[in-house]
Structure 1
Amino acid sequence: MLIDGRKLSTVLLLAATLLLSACKEEKASVGAPAPTLAAYDLQGNQVSLTQWKGKYVYLNFWASNCGGCLVEMPTLEKLSQSHRDNIVVVGINTDREEANIQTLLQDRQVTFPNVRDQMAITQERYQVIGTPTSFLIDPEGKLLAQYVGMMNEPQLKAIFDKSKG
């Protein structure tokens, strides 16, 4: 019996979920190491915070139906470009798999990395209740701050400027 690609992806995702659920429960706490991501890039590859070790990471949990999230995107894109040597913005989409976020990101000309958290494991680890919610992680992987709600450009710029030292 042959399994098509979509079914195989679902089986692999379920297997990964079972393995991850058996892992020690992680919870975000400012001052502690940042919890592990349980998310996949838009090509289906698992991502890890270690990919960006040595830089600050601004994790931004967002959803396509969140007005505040969409308002923040142009500023996050602009700051991700102007601060690219020090900080990386990582968008963590919380929509279900059916949502076509690739088109939305292309239409908004978003180039910073975006990952999917359809099973809400990362949201649970970071205790995200609503979007937008963001976290600042230092170059060694320690959680420095949590930001709940939409932030305007001066607020975001102040956070990003701190990454320059």
Structure 2
Amino acid sequence: MNIVRASLAAVLIAALTACGVVDGTTKTGDDSANPVGITRLAPEDRVPGPEIAGADLEGQPVSTAQWHGQVAVINVWGSWCPPCRAETPVLNRLANELEGDVPFLGVAVRESATTSLAFARKQDVPYPSISDSSGSLLARFAEPLPAAAVPTTYVLDRQGRVAVRVLDRVTYPTLKGLIEDVSAEAAP
């Protein structure tokens, strides 16, 4: 099993060497109006998102397990990625607006924790990030919806299931709307 995970991590890291979106439109269920790069899963098609736990870039413990019952956002990023840098103000704005209601977590890939921390501090990122230079955390998203580009943003529903994946730089109205859509779903 470790060989399979290591192989999957290597494939994901190789796929993530290019910054940007995978070309194409992803549609699921009866949502035929999905824009390119956005995958929405109907509640009955969702599987649990991976639990991500560890020390954040500041050395503080963080775990997605503490989000049970909340809609949450996970953003895969790297300071080396121009679309990631461009979307940082959008993520910061939404994280500040939704503080206490919708937790955010960054997963920094393909760079050292020191480099990621310097970027997060310079940009005043208000939410924690975990360094994933090995790709092992990212590999955990292979079953629900793999991150096939950097940046990738996930919106998790209240049950911790991946409800939405955005492959590309997010915009304020798009991400806010996606979060609102998932938040409006009936509670379990």
Q: Report the TM range for the smaller structure's normalisation.
A: 0.7 to 0.9
Identity percentage of aligned residues = 22
2-structure distance, mates of 1:102, 1:66: 15
Q: Which residue of 1 aligns with 2:167?
A: 148
Determine if the alignment matches structure 1 residue 84 to structure 2 residue 99.
yes
Residues 74-112 of structure 1: per-residue CA shift (max 9 Å, x gap): 111111111123211111100332652222111111111
Unpaired runs of at least 5, structure 1: 1-19
Matched-pair contact (CA < 8 Å) for 1:83–1:160: no
Pick one of 125, 136, 152 that aligns with 1:133: 152
Provide closer, same or farther for how the CA distance between residues 21 and 36 of structure 1 changes in structure 2, counting only shifts above 3 A.
farther
The one-letter amino acid of 1:79's match is L
Q: CA deviation at 1:65?
A: 0.7
Aligned partner of 2:81 in structure 1 is 66
> Structure 2: how far apart are the matches of 1:80 and 1:97?
24
Q: Answer yes or no: is the 8 Å Cα contact 2:105–2:128 preserved in 1.
A: yes
For the pair 1:111 / 2:130, whether they are aligned, the reply is no
Write out aligned runs for 1:7-86 (5 A). Answer: 21=2, 31-37=46-52, 40-44=55-59, 47-86=62-101
Cα gap change, 1:45/1:146 in structure 2, threshold over 3 Å: closer, same or farther?
Answer: same
Report if aligned partners of 1:60, 1:90 keep a CA contact under 8 Å in 2.
Answer: yes
User: What's the RMSD between the two structures over aligned residues?
Assistant: 2.9
In 1, Cα distance between the equivalents of 2:115 and 2:74? 20
Q: Whole-Å Cα distance in 1 between the matches of residues 164 and 86 of structure 2?
A: 21
Matches of 1:129 and 1:107 in 2, distance apart? Answer: 27
Q: Is the 8 A contact 1:60 1:135 kept in 2?
A: yes
CA contact (8 A) 2:110 2:132 kept: yes
| Partner of residue 157, structure 1 | 176
Higher mean Cα deviation, 83-92 or 56-65? 83-92
